[in-house]
Every structure is written in C-alpha cells, then in structure tokens.
Structure 1
Amino acid sequence: MKSISLLHPFSAKAIGLSERDIFFSHSKPHEKALLKLQKEGYEVSIDYFTGSLLPFTKKIGDIKKRFWPITKPLIKKRHGWRKQHSLFHYWNSFFNAPDLTIINMSGHGSLYCFKLAKMLLKKQKSYITMIGGIHVSEDLSGKEYYENAHHIIVHTEVQKKQLLQKEIFKNLNIQVMPLGIDTAVFTPKKKTSNTLELLFVGRISRLKQIELCLKTLAFLIKNQDKEVSLTIVGPISDEIYFGELKALAEHLKITERIKFVGSIEQKELVPYYQNANLLLLPSAHESFGMVMVEAMACGTPVAALLGSGGPDEIIENSLNGILVSKENYAENILNYFKDKEIEVRLSKNAREMAVQKWSLSQTENALRNSVNQVFR
C-alpha cells in the first residue's frame, strides 16, 4: 500500500489559528480529496507542527492528523512563520518516510522544508511542493527545492501564470489544483430578512483589510434607507488590529450594527453564507480564498479587490460578483444594492459557476492526477 503525507510544516499558532481550527476547519478541500484516495487504497495522513511537548495523533472523521513538536526555536519566536523545525517529524520521516510527501508552504519555503526535501531525495522518496501565494524564495536553496520536486501544485491559473514569469520557475512543471467545496452542503436558501446583511469570513488580521468592511457599512448606512448589518466570522490573529477595528467602529458610530462571531467549524458557516446578501473580501492579496467559492455556492456573491490574486480568476465583475478597486469599493456595493435585478442575476450566476468550476470533484481529480504521475 502506497503512503502519502500532506505536510503543513507550521503550527496552528504560526498562522493565527487554534489547534481546534486545525482539527476541524483548516485545509478541508485537501482533507476531503485525501479521504477519496484513502478509500481507493492509499494510506494517507496530514501532518502539522505543534507547541505540545510530545507528538500526538488526532483522528478527525476518517482522516489521521499527526502533530509533531517544534524543536526549534525553543522559546523566542517558537511560533514564528517559516522559522519552525521539528526533529520529531524529521526523524520519523527518515525512518518511516512516506512514498510521497506533499509539502504545503508559502512560496518562500522554509529552511526546514529545504532540509526535509534533501533527505527525502537521498532516500529516493518523491515530494511535491504546494505553493500558497505568488511571493517566492529565489535563493539557491529555494531554487533546488523547487527544481527537485516531482512537480509543483498551485491553486489558480493566475498563480501559475505569475510564477512562470519568474526565472526559477520558467521550465518547471506547475499544475493547478482548484480548491473545491461540497456543493451539496453549500447550497442556497431563500433570504427572508429585509436587512442588508454583509458578511466577512476569515482571520482578523491586518492583511485582510477589514477596515474596508467597516467603512463600507458606514457608507451604506449613510447613503441608502434599508437597515444594514455586518457579521464578522473568524479567529483573532492580531489583538492590536482587533482593538483598532473596535475603535474605528465606535468612531463611525456603527458598533451596534456589527457582530463578531469568532472561529467556528466549516460546516457551521453554511447558514451565515445563506443569510448574507454579500460576502466582503477586501484583502490586498488572496492566493485562492475558499470563502469565495463557499459563499458563491450558497448563492451569495462576493465583493473583492481587483488585482488581489485569486479573486481575479474566480470573480467576473457584474457577472457573478463585484471586482473593483479599493477606491471604488463602497460605491460599487451601494450601486449593487440599488438594483434588485442585478442582485438576483449575480446570485444565480455565482451558484452556477461554483458548481461548474469549484466542486469537490475538481480537487479530487486534480490530486489523483498528481499522485498517479508520481506512482506510474
């Protein structure tokens, strides 16, 4: 039986999440695609780093998630992004290397990724690099890491195109694995509220530019007559930024119109998407943005920023969502709500496109194709 490990070489805290988020919410499309391979006869596992002192395994549904203690840095910057090493994981891979390791990391990689990849090659085991984002390491270690990979996985055609423009990727095998969702779970529901319900789903982090959501809410309250509310769902990754958002809400006099929900499991997101009139995604950069296709599958269009990456591939402005500049963001959303016919049309198109392009079967087929290339 061939074995496959999907390695996320970082702890939950390093990406602003809790281990509970890792247990139940993180990387669900990958998890479900691996489950499909498991049913087809492969031995699969998902690996993370942890701040715990000893390794442990958590079985979530039918998938095995393994957690390996961080051994470097020990105290200072222990949960620093791209700083983490785990001798527990390294030596387990040395003595029990899976037949295929899929390493999911930002394009900059990490010293641990580079070290692990060299060891796997010496043991004649294959690895695939899975890249989130378009910013990459172009030093010698990073170059060798990508060149020696069996192939590279990204999640959008936009990401692939941007990477191929960089010198170190020009002649490399880059393949797209779209992150799909279960469109039988994420389904539309008739909206009954007369309130315009705005929704943000994601980490409360400065990179997400959530202040634009608050300013958009204030703009809508001022410039149209309907009641408007904003629900923010997601873990707090930056307490200072969270405090700034609350202060901004008070300054704009919209505190009572905003609800902070915190982190919830993926399956609990469905009613939030179904009840929302619009998902706000004002991030400066999104490599893919799972929340986009989840919302669209529920018939809820998305308002994102032009040039932010993943949204440029997924959203077609005025066809299945709103894709505009930061400067015109609030004004375009106001115009959207002024025309009920546009709202109905975009909702219908969003659902249809999610089903056609981003169903879970797309992820399963792409991952199976990657694995078959390694083992053929």
Structure 2
Amino acid sequence: MTECKSVSTPLCTTESVPSTLYRSIIGSLLYLIALKPKIMYSVGLVARFQSNPRLSHLQAAKRILRYVKGTISYGLHYIFSSALPITAFSDADWGGSLPDRKKAEYIAASQAGSQLLWMHTTLANLGLHFSGPPKLYCDNQSAIAISKNPTLHWKSKHIDIKKKRLRWHGGKEGQGEKELEKGLKEETKQPFIWVLRDMFVGETRRAQLPKGFEERVEGKGMVVKDWAPQLQILGHESIRGFMSYCGWNSCMESISMGVPIAAWPVHSNQLRNTILVIKLLKVGLVVNDWARRDELVSSSTVEIDMKRLLVSKEGVDLRKRVVEMSGAVKQLVEEGDVSRMELDSFVAHITRS
C-alpha cells in the first residue's frame, strides 16, 4: 500500500443510498418474518439503519432477498382445523461466566416468554385452536428457581423489570380475578361487561372466576367466557370506557367507536400502544403502570381508575376528546377522502392479476 492514494477519513462516509428504496425493502422483509422466522434476526439487524443507510447496509438487505428467493417454497403452514401445540426453548450463556449465567438465562427466558405469549395471542386472534397451554423449556435450574420465587434476592434486583413476563400466568390462582371482581362489583358500583377468553382450548382454563361471582353480579354485570363482538359492544351508546391490555386492534376499534381506554399493558407492543393512547392522543388513562407490572393490582386501584374514567370530569373530557377523534377517523375512510383514495389504490395494486 505504499503507492496507494490517501483519504481524509478512516471510514467511508459518502456511500449513502436512497433511504426510500432501503425502507421499502426493509418494510417488505418485515412482513415476511411471520412466515419465515429464520430471517428475523438478520432483518432486525439491517432495520436499524433506515434513517441513514449505506451501501454495505443495502448489500446486506439484498443478500436477505437472495436468501428468500432461494427458499421461496419454504414457510410455516398453519392448519385452521388442527389443535396446535406451542412450544419454545430458551438457552443463553453470558460469556461462560458461572456467576452471571443464571441471570442471562433468566432474561433470555423472559424475552422468550414474551414472544411466546405474543405468538399465542396472535394465533388465537386468527381463530386457531391449541392442544394445551404454551410451554417454555429452560435448561437452567437457577433461572427456573428465580421465576418461581415470589421474593427477589438482592443479587437479582437489577432484573426485577424483566420478571413479570414469566410470572404473569404463574401467580396465585385466581388472585388477580378476585381483586378485579371486588373493584368492579363492590367498590366501583358501575355496570360492566367482562370478557374472559380462554388462553387455550381444553378442560383446563387459564383463569377461573371466583366461586359464585356470576350470581353475585347478576343484574349489575355480564361475564362473556368466549369470543365477543368487541366492535359491536364498543359501538353501543351505553359504553363509556374500555379496560384493555392495549393491543393494536383494540386501541383502533376503541378510538374509532369514540370510547376512552383504561390501559393495562402486559407485554410486547402494548407498552408502545399505551404511550400512544395516553401521552400522544390523550384518550385514556393507565390502570397499571408498566414499571409496576409485576405487582398485583388491588381492588382499590381498580375502583379509583374506573371512577376517574366513568364518573369524573377527567373522564368526561377524555370521552369528549375521543369522540371528536372518532369523527375524524371515520371521515378518513369516506368516499372521496384522500386517505380513502390512497387505500383503494393500494388494494387495487396488491390485488391486480
């Protein structure tokens, strides 16, 4: 290299590529992840550079496209009529360090559990049935012990924010349902509809109602144990609030119907949706804060937040704001609106022969 030309910087800074092209490739690849989970890591990696992509990033994205072309006949085939088992395996090692290994194993199991619940919920919304509850296998006894231990050790306090994903379905049977029952029936004293969808199909249920609950709320509340016409319920004139985990569809339907949201995020994208609803759109309030998602929500908390939403001035202001937003949303899909025309154009494009 004694005869090479000198450069002003140690790394190339002029090989930028059109960001629009790069983003369109990444957007297409993100849709493919559902059918080709093997590309999830590589797509997630190249998706980090959408704001200022370089030639090397574009080359990496094109390599993924070449892989997709070679495996075009591969994919996941979900059979609607069959009962699917959902199983996940978790394993991790923090650089071979024996003292830290159990913490890495636990955090990895927590993240795997979050993805497992997301996939289970997504498939259930698509109408698929399951042969049993989702199973997560972990080969580290210390990580398993931490997930079962209701009391944190001082050495594991820094992973406190992770543990809820593993303990959400592992707490004392029926404890959360009893607190919610007391808050709805005895303290809030407001009529309600409580939808309890099973986490899986079979003899064993994820959550049992407190004994005699339905008899005690007769005339005051209604319990739906299966699929419910959510959009139809939200569109009824008597509905003044919607307590939700803040899945994307639930948020969109509630806002479209002009119903304020009592947010109770648990995992995956529900936190981001909650921030959108509470902080940006300002059409709801938080029942259980994300930072305290590992704590049992008491009946008094349910009472306070439900009264805020249903009978306070704050609730009146929230309903007024979300009703105005509902009108604006509905106008967007009316014939002749620019957004409707763009949507029709998109549908025509993807359905062309």
Q: What's the TM-score once normalised by structure 1's chain length?
A: 0.38
Instruction: Identify, as 1 or 2, the structure richer in strand.
Output: 1
Find the structure with the greater CA-based Rg.
2
Q: What's the TM-score once normalised by structure 2's chain length?
A: 0.40
Instruction: Identify, as 1 or 2, the structure richer in helix.
Output: 2
